[in-house]
RNA sequence: GGGCGAUUAACUCAGUGGUUAGAGUGCCACCUUCACACGGUGGAAGUCACAGGUUCGAAUCCCGUAUCGCCCACCA
């Protein structure tokens, strides 16, 4: 495979530092050209599908999107490499209010408005905006490397999805699950639309509680009511008290005079009233408060609307008509005060509802709206999770899901805006018949008249999003895609839309497809601002992922996000951390450069033909480590533990492959050609190829770039098989032996550093081993010890003369000496050993205490006890060696 | 009013019953050694918020306290 612009690809001599700028776009275009993202439908292979949480068509990529989509891309690339038919279905959401707001702002700038240009022109204008400026986030997702099947990109208002929406609406209506009625809903006076309960954000606000005297109608006194919204009193049609409240039992006449309006309203008895609150009397405004609405129903009270759709007082408010609700509040309070009817004003903290789109204070208002009766759907959705048809990760979210589903209230789905799916309902002007239909009717089905007018409301945006997992696959048609990819494998999303979206997809998916839409739901953390608030564009101090990608490269961002994914609820990306992982990318790059110098033009290795048993320790060791890492990465990804996978890979590449293995085999690589060198090259090549494949889902660009620099005819790494563990590569013996060798080398390096020996100076080392086997091991690896610790003269022996003037280091039961011919600072040496001794003693004491506790020995698993015994022996041996050495040093010191 | 989460190194965070609690960045010392200074080697740094409990064994499980934060909810 070659990238499209073939200017400088096959260059095997790589730049000294990884230059992501040259690489990312090149490979992304190549993947697109080769259609590597296209979903296959091979019946022989399992399917793996994800539908993208569709970003708003108005959206701009923020860190939350970057996280969400990186996590999805990791899974999709991983499963694709594992050979599955992978579909990652992309698309955007029409985002009713948000998009309408954008275009309305444009119109305002042109000194016009949607009302002026009319509905048809407005909707056309939004479509035009969408075609020209919408969906820039799609380009940004490509920049992030997302391997979506772009040929299947959908939009919640495209033809197919609109058809699905209409079908669902009609079916639910026919089933009696959609109804229209007059209820108190949340009204946004700025957006001029109803909002669902979920779309109202309650913010604690320091308000005031006004205590107002309502004179009794017979003039014998007054009742005091308390309210936070005095302006609504103009709409009061009763005062309520608790039926068992002694204080109100003997009211002479069951009526009060509503101040300012000067009209008589009844006193009703209702158990909803809290006797302890305020004076125990509650003003009842059925048209502007949900509870009051319910009370009104129970007592057959009139509904009096005193406000219009913009939050302005209407004619029913008498002399207050025309005032904005907040201005009216001031005026009402002033007038009450003047009339001596204001008993007191208390500071009062309470939750005030705000529109989640524009933050305007929401007004509960009486209105005719469409609702979905969700209770029966919710019951099915609960069952699906209870029975494990859908698993939620992390599991702790299940309870949140259940409790919301159990207390669910009917869903208000109508919105009084213009951008969205217009409700397919018509009213006959002649006979008043309500017609709900899949195809626009031309005449009344009841009376035959053809004066029909369609409902002007549109549906809540989440109504169409709720159908996303099946509408995007062609439903209501019976498509191949639906059969193949539904239910989808996993939904990856952030927990803040668990109710808005996930819960509703569950309900709709089960109801219309008969099966829950996902096998797994993985909820990840939310990126918040520094105050712990949800991030919003209007606030500053928000990290822009596009800037990050420009600065550090996409792979660095992706790897960082994967490493961050463990966090429970909040993520705040730190730039330092991204920089740290850019260093990791560069490290990988340079390890590859180095490897390439030595691999030369080797034929690509055949891992199956590798015989580890015939190889030297470094090779056996690195293959064992690689195998372990492979197992860890796969297990981690199987369980959505991205951070574990990232950490395992980071650790392996940097700490084991680069720091130890490459240094270890350098002598062999630089030596004269021979079978040893041949083996080293082969293993090196194998490890590099394997690790690139393991890393590819996380950091696709740099891995692809290196992949193509390797010798051999190469297709994209994207479709290489993902590595799997190989029993033949496992070797605990090699891991143990290498650990011993590393201990000795580290000890020597420690001595060098502590005694100030120049890095380029060679030293003499004497290693005293506890037994013959150890001695042979150390002697057998003297080439490595010489190279890695800069040792000139190395002696390994079981016992023998302890050198006179020598720095000492004890590694378990091995004593390491570096003779320094009179240069040894005995006091410093003694102090060092003494410190080591006390540390060792503390550990040994702990182990001794454990092992002398019969309860531990009896109760702990055998392998834990055995482990402690081994530790005891090692520590005791070390302590013995430390004691000996200190005694010897004291003698030498004189 | 319910529910949930967090509290671990200077900073940002991993670590959900069993080695001497880890990572990135930062810090100290030495090193421009032929892949990499976006580097190497060695090192310092933590009463795992506090107080109890369960257990042979607790950062990890349970109870409580404190601080911070989130979600849900019709006390005006």
What is the predicted ipTM?
Answer: 0.94
3-state DSSP call for residue A170? Answer: helix
Give the tokens for residue A102: 């954008």
Give the tokens for residue A120: 């048809």
Answer whether any strand B atom is within 7 A of the Cβ of A229.
yes
Distance between the two ends of chain A, CA-based, in angstroms? 74
Answer whether any strand B atom is within 7 A of the Cβ of A663.
yes
Residue A532 has pLDDT above 60, yes or no: no
Q: Are strands A425-428 and A434-436 parallel, antiparallel or unpaired?
A: antiparallel
Contacts with A834 (C-beta within 8 Å, 6 or more apart), sequence order: A886
Q: What pLDDT does residue A11 have? A: 38
Express the helix, strand and coil content of chain A in percent, nearest 5 each: 50, 20, 35
Angstrom distance, A187 CA to B9 C1': 51
Is residue A536 within 8 Å of residue A356, measured between CB atoms?
no
- Segment A583-618, tens digit of pLDDT: 999 999 999 999 999 987 778 888 888 888 899 999
Q: In angstroms, rounded to a whole number, what is the distance separating the alpha carbons of residues A259 and A241?
A: 18
* Residue A520: closest CA among A72, A42, A170, A183: A72
Is residue A102 within 8 Å of residue A129, measured between CB atoms?
yes
What is the reported pTM?
0.92
Kind plus residue range of the DSSP H or E element containing A740: helix A732-754
Q: What pLDDT does residue A881 have? A: 87
Q: In angstroms, rounded to a whole number, what is the distance separating the alpha carbons of residues A151 and A363?
A: 44
- The β-bridge partners of A215 are A222
Answer whether any strand B atom is within 7 A of the Cβ of A758.
yes
- The β-bridge partners of A208 are A347
Residue A8 has pLDDT above 50, yes or no: no
Name the one residue in this structure whose structure tokens are 């011919």.
A821
- Residues present in chain A in total: 894
Is residue A766 within 8 Å of residue A792, measured between CB atoms?
no
- Segment A373-401, tens digit of pLDDT: 999 999 999 999 999 999 998 888 888 89
Angstrom distance, A566 CA to B24 C1': 15
The most confident of the ranges A70-84, A327-341, A527-541, A592-606 is A70-84
Confidence of residue A567 (pLDDT cuts 50, 70, 90): low
Strand B nucleotides within 7 Å of a protein CB = 3-6, 11-16, 18-20, 23-25, 29-43, 55-57, 68-76
Angle at A329 between CA A328 and CA A334, to 5 degrees: 95
Contacts with A457 (C-beta within 8 Å, 6 or more apart), sequence order: A369, A370, A414, A415, A416, A422, A423
Give the tokens for residue A544: 């822009």
Contacts with A785 (C-beta within 8 Å, 6 or more apart), sequence order: A741, A744, A745, A748, A765, A778, A791, A794
Answer whether any strand B atom is within 7 A of the Cβ of A310.
no
* Residue A95: closest CA among A199, A172, A244: A199
Is residue A92 within 8 Å of residue A137, measured between CB atoms?
yes
* Residue A747: closest CA among A777, A768, A732: A768
Answer whether any strand B atom is within 7 A of the Cβ of A529.
no
Q: What pLDDT does residue A7 have? A: 33
Residue A536 has pLDDT above 60, yes or no: no
Q: In angstroms, rounded to a whole number, what is the distance separating the alpha carbons of residues A281 and A261?
A: 19
Give the tokens for residue A571: 């993520």
Environment class of residue A470 by beta-carbon count within 10 Å: exposed (0-12), middle (13-18) or buried (19+)? buried
Angstrom distance, A397 CA to B64 C1': 25
Name the one residue in this structure whose structure tokens are 């190549």.
A30
Q: In angstroms, rounded to a whole number, what is the distance separating the alpha carbons of residues A305 and A187?
A: 13
DSSP state of A150: G
CB atoms within 10 A of CB A503: 24
Q: What pLDDT does residue A13 have? A: 62
Name the one residue in this structure whose structure tokens are 């913009």.
A310
Confidence of residue A246 (pLDDT cuts 50, 70, 90): confident
Angstrom distance, A64 CA to B17 C1': 35
DSSP state of A387: T
Give the gyration radius of chain A's Cα atoms.
37
């Amino acid at each position: 495979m070659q990238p499209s612009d073939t200017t400088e690809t096959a260059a095997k001599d790589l730049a000294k530092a990884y230059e992501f700028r040259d690489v990312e776009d090149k490979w992304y275009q190549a993947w697109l050209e080769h259609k590597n993202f296209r979903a296959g439908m091979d019946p022989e292979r399992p399917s793996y599908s994800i539908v993208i949480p569709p970003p708003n068509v108005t959206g701009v990529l923020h860190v939350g999107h970057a996280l969400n989509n990186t996590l999805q891309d990791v899974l999709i690339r991983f499963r694709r490499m594992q050979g599955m038919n992978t579909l990652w279905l992309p698309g955007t959401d029409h985002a009713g209010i948000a998009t309408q707001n954008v275009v309305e702002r444009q119109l305002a700038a042109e000194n016009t408005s949607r009302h002026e240009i009319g509905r048809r022109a407005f909707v056309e204008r939004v479509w035009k905006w969408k075609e020209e400026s919408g969906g820039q986030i799609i380009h940004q997702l490509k920049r992030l490397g997302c391997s979506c099947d772009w040929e299947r990109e959908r939009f919640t208002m495209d033809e197919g999805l609109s058809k699905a929406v209409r079908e669902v609406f009609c079916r639910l209506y026919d089933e009696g699950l959609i109804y229209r009625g007059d209820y108190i809903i949340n009204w946004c006076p700025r957006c001029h639309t109803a909002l669902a309960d979920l779309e109202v954000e309650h913010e604690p606000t320091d308000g005031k509680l006004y205590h107002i005297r309502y004179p009794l109608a017979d003039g014998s006194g007054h009742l005091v009511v308390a309210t936070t919204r005095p302006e609504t009193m103009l709409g009061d049609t009763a005062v309520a008290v608790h039926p068992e409240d002694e204080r109100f039992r003997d009211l002479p006449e069951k009526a009060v005079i509503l101040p300012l309006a000067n009209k008589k309203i009844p006193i009703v008895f209702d158990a909803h009233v809290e006797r302890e609150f305020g004076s125990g009397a509650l003003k009842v405004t059925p048209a502007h408060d949900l509870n009051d609405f319910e009370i009104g129903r129970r007592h057959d009270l009139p509904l009096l609307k005193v406000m219009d759709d913009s939050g302005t007082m209407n004619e029913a408010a008498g002399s207050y008509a025309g005032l904005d609700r907040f201005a009216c509040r001031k005026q009402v309070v002033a007038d009450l005060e003047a009339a001596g009817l204001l008993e007191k004003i208390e500071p009062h903290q309470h939750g005030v509802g705000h529109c989640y789109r524009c933050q305007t204070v929401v007004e509960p208002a009486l209105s005719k709206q469409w609702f979905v009766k969700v209770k029966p759907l919710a019951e099915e959705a609960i069952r699906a999770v209870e029975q494990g048809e859908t698993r939620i990760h992390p599991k702790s979210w299940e309870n949140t899901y259940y409790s919301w589903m159990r207390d669910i209230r009917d869903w208000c789905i109508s919105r009084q805006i213009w951008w969205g799916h217009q409700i397919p309902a018509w009213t006959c002007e002649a006979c008043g018949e309500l017609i709900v239909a899949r195809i626009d009717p031309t005449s009344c089905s009841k009376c035959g008249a053809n004066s029909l007018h369609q409902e002007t409301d549109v549906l809540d945006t989440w109504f169409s999003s709720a159908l996303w997992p099946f509408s995007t696959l062609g439903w209501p048609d019976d498509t191949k895609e639906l059969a193949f990819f539904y239910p989808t494998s996993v939904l990856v999303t952030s927990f803040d839309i668990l109710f808005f979206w996930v819960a509703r997809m569950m309900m709709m998916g089960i109801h219309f497809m008969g099966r829950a839409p996902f096998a797994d739901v993985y909820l990840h953390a939310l990126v918040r601002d520094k105050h712990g608030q949800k991030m919003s564009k209007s606030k500053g101090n928000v990290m822009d992922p596009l800037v990050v990608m420009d600065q550090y490269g996409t792979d660095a961002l992706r790897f960082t996000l994967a490493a961050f994914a463990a966090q429970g609820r909040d993520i705040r990306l730190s730039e330092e951390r991204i920089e740290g992982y850019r260093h990791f990318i560069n490290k990988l790059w340079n390890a590859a450069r180095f490897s390439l110098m030595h691999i030369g033009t080797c034929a690509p290795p055949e891992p199956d033909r590798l015989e580890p048993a015939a190889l030297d320790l470094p090779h056996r060791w690195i293959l064992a480590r690689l195998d372990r890492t492979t197992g860890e990465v796969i297990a981690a990804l199987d369980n959505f533990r991205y951070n574990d996978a990232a950490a395992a890979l980071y650790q392996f590449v940097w700490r084991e492959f680069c720091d130890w293995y490459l240094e270890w085999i350098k002598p062999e690589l630089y030596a004269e050609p021979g079978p040893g060198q041949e083996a080293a090259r082969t293993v090196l090549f194998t490890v590099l190829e394997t690790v690139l494949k393991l890393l590819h889902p996380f950091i696709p660009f740099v891995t692809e770039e290196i992949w193509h620099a390797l010798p051999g005819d190469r297709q994209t790494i994207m479709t290489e098989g993902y590595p799997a563990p190989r029993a033949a590569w496992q070797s605990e013996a090699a891991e143990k032996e290498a650990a011993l060798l590393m201990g000795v080398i580290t000890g020597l390096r420690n001595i060098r550093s502590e005694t100030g020996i120049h890095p380029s100076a060679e030293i003499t080392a004497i290693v005293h081993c506890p037994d013959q086997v150890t001695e042979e091991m150390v002697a057998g690896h003297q080439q490595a010890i010489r190279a890695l610790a800069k040792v000139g003269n190395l002696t390994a022996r079981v016992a023998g003369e302890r050198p006179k003037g020598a720095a000492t280091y004890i590694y378990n039961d091995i004593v390491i000496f570096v003779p320094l011919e009179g240069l040894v600072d005995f006091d410093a040496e003694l102090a060092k050993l003494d410190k080591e001794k006390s540390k060792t003693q503390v550990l040994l004491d702990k182990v001794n205490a454990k092992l002398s506790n019969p309860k531990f020995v009896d109760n702990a698993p055998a392998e834990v006890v055995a482990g402690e015994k081994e530790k005891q022996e090692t520590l005791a041996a070390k302590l013995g060696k430390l004691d000996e050495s200190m005694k010897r040093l004291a003698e030498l010191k004189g």
